[in-house]
Each structure stands twice: as C-alpha cells, then as structure tokens.
C-alpha cells in the first residue's frame, strides 16, 4: 500500500502567537517601517537634499539626506565668534540636490555603504568634528533582514512542528511508522 504524503493546512500561524511574542512583533514592525522609510529617502535623495540640524554655542549636529546617502555630522565649536551666534533647536529644511563630483573615495567601506571619519578644519569650514555616512540602500537592507530571517525561521519551525503533531516525518513527509529516515524512526519509537 502506498503511503500518503502529509499536506499541511494553509495557515498563517507563523505570524500569529501569544503574548510572549509581542516584543518580537514590535521589533518586526519597527524594522519594516524603518526599511520602508529608508527606501523612501533613497528614492527621494537623488532629487532633494533634506537637512535636519541643531546648534548650541559649543556643538552642532547636522543630519543630511542626499545623493543616495545619509550623512550625520557632529561639529565641535562650529562658530568662530560667540558674539553673533544665536542657538537654535532642531530645524528642518530641504533644497534641490546639487550635482557634482562624489567625494566618497573608492574603498571596501564604500562598497558596503558605510564610512566615517574626522572633519579637519579648512578655510571654508573652520571647525572640527566627526561624520558618519551610510547609503540608504544599506540601511534598507539592514532593516529588512531581521524580519525576513525571523519569518523564515518561524515558518520552518512551525512546519516541522505541524508534521510531528500530525505523525509525519519532517524530512521525508511520510508517516513516522513507515519512515526510512533515522530521525523519523527515533521519533516513531518514542511515540509508542
């Protein structure tokens, strides 16, 4: 007599679950949201520079989205004279993207899409600081990988569990008592 292979129910049980999975779901949704946001800025950045900045008398932050990347700058003592400086809270502005030469030097880091360094004072910008540069595509992939990996892991685990509960081997999909796999034979012996 020919054995029937197991046909699992068509459910989305791998995305559902108990209270213990609530935090994982929040991280899952947060990562998907950040991935979509990164994709939106990646699409927008060749055409528009988005700038968010803040300044105090001794420190300034500048976050710039443009030319397919996100640049975060932290500037120490950005003002030559403290007399005419007016501090400001977080401020947003945008402008059309400028075309020109890409200052990002070819390197392994550029291939990955991440780079960082120190700002050295020059006559046009007489201040010191640090910067981090990340490609939007890199951020999009980084935020998309955890939910994707979690979904695949959960689906594989739940499918294996479905097979065992129904009395089928997860490897060959035949009933445990007629299975030729070592794993299936061991489980069949344990169930009797």
Give the pLDDT of residue 36.
Answer: 92
Angle at 127 between CA 123 and CA 130, to 5 degrees: 125
Give the pLDDT of residue 4.
Answer: 62
Which of 75-84, 114-123, 138-147 is predicted most confidently?
A: 138-147
d(CA 48, CA 186): 62
Give the pLDDT of residue 186.
Answer: 55
**Which pTM does this prediction carry?**
0.66
Percent with pLDDT over 90 in the chain: 15
Q: What distances in angstroms separate CA 6 from CA 174, 186, 189, one per listed residue? A: 7, 19, 19
Give the pLDDT of residue 180.
Answer: 73
- Alpha carbon 65 to its chain's center: 17
Higher pLDDT, 3 or 76: 76
Confidence label for 78 from pLDDT (cuts 50, 70 and 90) = low
Give the pLDDT of residue 32.
Answer: 92
d(CA 158, CA 150): 12
Task: Tell me the per-residue pLDDT of 24-60, one tens digit each, with 9 for 90 and over.
Answer: 778 888 999 999 999 998 998 888 889 998 888 778 8
DSSP for residue 180: -
d(CA 130, CA 29): 31
d(CA 38, CA 183): 44
Using an 8 Å Cβ cutoff, are 35 and 144 in contact?
yes
Does residue 17 carry a pLDDT above 60? no
Higher pLDDT, 134 or 8: 134
Radius of gyration, alpha carbons of the chain: 27
CA-nearest of 169, 154, 165, 139 to 38 is 139
């Amino acid at each position: 007599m020919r054995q029937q292979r197991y046909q699992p129910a068509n459910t989305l049980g791998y995305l559902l679950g108990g209270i213990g999975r609530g935090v994982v779901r929040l991280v899952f949704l947060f990562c998907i949201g950040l991935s979509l946001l990164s994709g939106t800025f990646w699409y927008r950045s060749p055409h528009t520079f988005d700038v968010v900045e803040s300044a105090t008398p001794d420190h300034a932050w500048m976050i710039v989205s443009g030319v397919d990347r996100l640049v975060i700058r932290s500037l120490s003592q950005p003002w030559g004279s403290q007399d005419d400086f007016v501090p400001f809270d977080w401020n947003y502005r945008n402008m059309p993207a400028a075309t020109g030469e890409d200052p990002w030097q070819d390197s392994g880091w550029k291939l990955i899409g991440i780079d960082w360094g120190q700002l050295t004072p020059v006559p046009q910008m007489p201040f010191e600081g640090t910067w981090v540069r990340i490609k939007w595509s890199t951020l999009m992939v980084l935020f998309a990988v955890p939910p994707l990996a979690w979904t695949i892991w959960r689906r594989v685990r739940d499918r294996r569990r479905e097979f065992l509960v129904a009395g089928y081997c997860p490897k060959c999909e035949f009933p445990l008592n007629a299975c030729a796999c070592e794993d299936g034979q061991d489980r069949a012996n344990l169930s009797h």
